[in-house]
Structure 1
């Protein structure tokens, strides 16, 4: 006779849980269906909003236009901006963007695809490293923390090299952590370390020597704290350095061979002088980055004490399988702390400071936060939620202040429009926090943290999207169509005393600089025939040269229109577009 079914009392616990209707398959303690929905929401917010805003200057327009010119000319070695040599940065970011244009066409979301992928790579790499050292829950939580950190997710939707560098360095950090895990086989350890060196090679192609200096500083800082000199023997340095150079050196060799002036400008002016002096006029006090880190990590500030304890208690160091590669166990929490602190100190001491410089430290913070959150109990998490609810409420109450702002570059009318979006973002912060409090009681801590992170991501995405109220007029897109009806291929497009970073991209037409070279000074020195150094030279070309279009500030237009005929094509509060010939339909 067939045996009768076993009674529920004698079934294994896992089978009893699976048989219960309220126990679905779980991953990292989260039902698989809920996890899939969370990932879908993340993907929609991350990639679905890339083209929802117009490009902002200077960075977004600059790098979008460089990549467009690279694709148009077919020259992938000598970087040019508005037709002039531009050697401030290496080409990797622009290469990826040019490939994006070639595959998907030229547009805003294509220009931002590189940074979105870099941000996603940073999230995925951090999750993998945290899961390996601190468990699957810590890995999931590290990803939630990084994706919802305002500075990280905003930078992943803003076309700059800082995000690309940070995503690549996050992969370098994660590869190092994965290589040093005690259960990693020798072959896997070698492969992970080679991946780390490869990432540093790509970082060299993204922003130069900083791609090696930052990991090197972190390694030295970690060694000084832990005295783990044996780690240096596990870096596969000879093969790794060779691989790193194989990735990076060919472009440097080619561009220097074609442009002998490159080496001095790039390594002396753009590296040494940028760091040791204020030649780039981007100075700031030593505490410049403190508010940026606090604001950029705001939703998770309540976890900082637990993160400190994670480092102090050397979390992850004790493992079931003893180390077989040396007497000193690798300490992942200390490595993450050394990574974050050394990057913060390095840029705080620099003579040149911009907000995006400290982005590479956020993946390390996220890994530590994931490890801390995995051990955080419900009471501590509830306290964090109430604190964030208070911050959201204060932000909501203070949001009308945005409507009072005014500046020469941005009229008050635009700030008033943006204030509504700021208020909506803080309202979403409050709503997401309240939802997390409700889920903490009904579904537990993991569901609460997941909902909270998605709520923060949604709130700060709304704040970024709302900036289109300011960004669209600033981009000059409203002038693009009228100018396109007049501008012809090969016709000069002058930038008179101003470098417009966005309109050349939308017009698919580079500028010819007049009187003020701005950041194109190096290029104008190398190819002086490609610009007009004085207003008198411009006036002569305007009167006696071919048909042309010019972009001027309203002040410059008032001065020059009294000297030479100028036919207005279109204008906004920042710029006036004019032609040196009558324009049909425009009076």
Structure 2
């Protein structure tokens, strides 16, 4: 039976409702989410390494017209497949170059993950659960933050959410055979896109989950409902042409990509990204923080087979035959195993980065949506009070941010960011108080919706505030004075440093000097495109054409004693110099 506030809000005065919410309120909530989601994409400068790297790769792709051989700073770069860069280059072609265009792909991928999760949850657990699953995922800190950083992890995770959702939709017992086939083909297409986004992980992760599910349930009949022959053919049709073309044009690609970037990355610590076995535990907890109170209910739903529907053994809804009928598909268990299997897979890897576990969040959101749909008012009130306490503690602890210092980021920038962190926790507290008030006056759905919107707003504030650190780190303030000196075709050297952001803002690739950094493979393949020693650089600097160089302050202090260097601009990370006098600069 509905609580009094929910019964009152469900009266005849409101004719049109969706998921228990008046249509006008639903529309306003969606509009608010959309404004926060897309309206902030260009509010921050790009951060290195990932954001600047992938923005620049896409720029070079569009500039050169070569959409097959991926290049970074003019060198072959085969660490990742091209789908994310294709989409970013397309964004540039349609809307011009800038920060929001560079982030549009990840924002759309994040939104696709939300929409796919909502659709699957609504199909299995009801419209209300679908709406709630969308609220949970959109306001999960790690998901909405990643949807505003230009990285491949978010694009892959959005595609993987579509893989999971398509599988769940295909296996619903009320799905007709033709619809089941179409949803499974959509699942295989999504896996093909995943292969084009981040390689074999796009196939390995769903395969791992499927093995885990069949081992736990012993539901081998599921394998016959995957439409594997047609699906594999479709997946290869999507993914294989690029792999074939790039290998044909670059024979060195196959070994580097599959051996070095897959096997050695997973089994070794060669990329210096190691972490303990529990590395992802705090990330998962923090990334799902506003909804952690739902975990016990989510576990119960997965254990008790929520959403499972038996069959009578007749052909039609499940596409199977027999007198006893197949085991019912268990969507909640599938979501739980999806999250656990992917979490375990990356926890065992020798290479760890925070974004690797992003694909677990859509599965968690579906479970959370189903749990929220069944949560009582007292339980939800307890959840809100716990979050209010967390928000208050975070507000009290926010001055700690102002004490941070590192070689890469001066304390003065952390001091400015601490104010934004405090503001974010103020929003957390305020929206939680508002949710408690709405719970009393208008019921659970209004309370949960306002809470989710408030959480998204709070973490958006924290993200926007990071511009206090991000703008100086990006070097964008140096772009204008350098552009006044740098000419098309003029060498732009990176002396002992790979600057990931300035090349994008300058629309000009670097020529590496002395340290190839992550461009080592490219320099091996095309050694004529870099200077392997400082002596080679000094010779080119003194006897070569006009040029500009980027150096660390320490390297500048060492080299300026050997050769003439005319400072163009500088910040705490880099010094920009020319080998010729610069008008207006002393």
TM-score, normalised to structure 1's length? 0.96
* Structure 2 counterpart SS, 1:558: helix
2:571: which partner in 1?
Answer: 572
State how far apart, in whole Å, the 2-side matches of 1:312 and 1:383 are. 23
The Cα shift of 1:504 comes to 0.1
2:149: which partner in 1?
Answer: 158
Deviations 1:525-548, CA, capped at 9 Å, x for gaps: 000000000000000000000000
The Cα shift of 1:25 comes to 1.4
1:460 maps to 2:459? yes
State how far apart, in whole Å, the 2-side matches of 1:154 and 1:327 are. 41
1:274: which partner in 2?
Answer: 265
Q: How has the CA–CA distance of structure 1 residues 19 and 359 changed in structure 2, closer, same or farther, with 3 Å as cutoff?
A: closer
8 Å CA contact 2:9, 2:442 repeated in 1: no
1:426: which partner in 2?
Answer: 425
2:82: which partner in 1?
Answer: 91
The Cα shift of 1:20 comes to 3.8
State how far apart, in whole Å, the 2-side matches of 1:143 and 1:18 are. 22
Q: How has the CA–CA distance of structure 1 residues 441 and 565 changed in structure 2, closer, same or farther, with 3 Å as cutoff?
A: same
Q: Following superposition of structure 1 onto structure 2, how do residues 44-193 of structure 1 map, counting pairs within 5 Å? A: 44-193=35-184
Cα RMSD after superposing both structures: 1.2
Residue segments in structure 1 that go unaligned for 5+ positions in a row: 1-15
Q: How has the CA–CA distance of structure 1 residues 17 and 354 changed in structure 2, closer, same or farther, with 3 Å as cutoff?
A: closer
State how far apart, in whole Å, the 1-side matches of 2:140 and 2:331 are. 21
8 Å CA contact 2:171, 2:329 repeated in 1: yes
1:302: which partner in 2?
Answer: 293
Q: How has the CA–CA distance of structure 1 residues 410 and 225 changed in structure 2, closer, same or farther, with 3 Å as cutoff?
A: same
* Structure 1 counterpart SS, 2:539: helix
8 Å CA contact 1:404, 1:416 repeated in 2: yes
State how far apart, in whole Å, the 1-side matches of 2:499 and 2:242 are. 29
Q: Following superposition of structure 1 onto structure 2, how do residues 248-327 of structure 1 map, counting pairs within 5 Å? A: 248-318=239-309, 324=318, 325=320, 326-327=325-326
State how far apart, in whole Å, the 2-side matches of 1:565 and 1:318 are. 77
State how far apart, in whole Å, the 1-side matches of 2:581 and 2:312 are. 81
1:333: which partner in 2?
Answer: 332
1:514 maps to 2:513? yes
2:414: which partner in 1?
Answer: 415
TM-score, normalised to structure 2's length? 0.96
State how far apart, in whole Å, the 2-side matches of 1:398 and 1:492 are. 48
8 Å CA contact 2:193, 2:239 repeated in 1: yes
State how far apart, in whole Å, the 2-side matches of 1:17 and 1:435 are. 17
* Structure 1 counterpart SS, 2:359: helix
8 Å CA contact 2:311, 2:328 repeated in 1: no
* Structure 2 counterpart SS, 1:569: strand
Deviations 1:47-97, CA, capped at 9 Å, x for gaps: 000000000000000000000000000000000000000000000000000
8 Å CA contact 2:511, 2:530 repeated in 1: yes
State how far apart, in whole Å, the 2-side matches of 1:447 and 1:425 are. 22
2:235: which partner in 1?
Answer: 244
Stretches of 4+ moved more than 6 A in 1? 16-19, 319-322
* Structure 1 counterpart SS, 2:366: helix
* Structure 2 counterpart SS, 1:157: coil
The Cα shift of 1:319 comes to 6.4
State how far apart, in whole Å, the 2-side matches of 1:408 and 1:244 are. 46
1:481 maps to 2:480? yes
1:8: which partner in 2?
Answer: none
8 Å CA contact 1:425, 1:459 repeated in 2: yes
State how far apart, in whole Å, the 2-side matches of 1:48 and 1:122 are. 19
8 Å CA contact 2:80, 2:198 repeated in 1: yes
State how far apart, in whole Å, the 2-side matches of 1:496 and 1:187 are. 60
The Cα shift of 1:312 comes to 1.1
Q: Following superposition of structure 1 onto structure 2, how do residues 198-217 of structure 1 map, counting pairs within 5 Å? A: 198-217=189-208
Q: Following superposition of structure 1 onto structure 2, how do residues 474-553 of structure 1 map, counting pairs within 5 Å? A: 474-553=473-552
State how far apart, in whole Å, the 1-side matches of 2:340 and 2:39 are. 34
The Cα shift of 1:190 comes to 0.2
State how far apart, in whole Å, the 2-side matches of 1:337 and 1:313 are. 12
The Cα shift of 1:249 comes to 0.3
State how far apart, in whole Å, the 1-side matches of 2:93 and 2:430 are. 41
Deviations 1:113-136, CA, capped at 9 Å, x for gaps: 000000000000000000000000
Aligned residues: 571
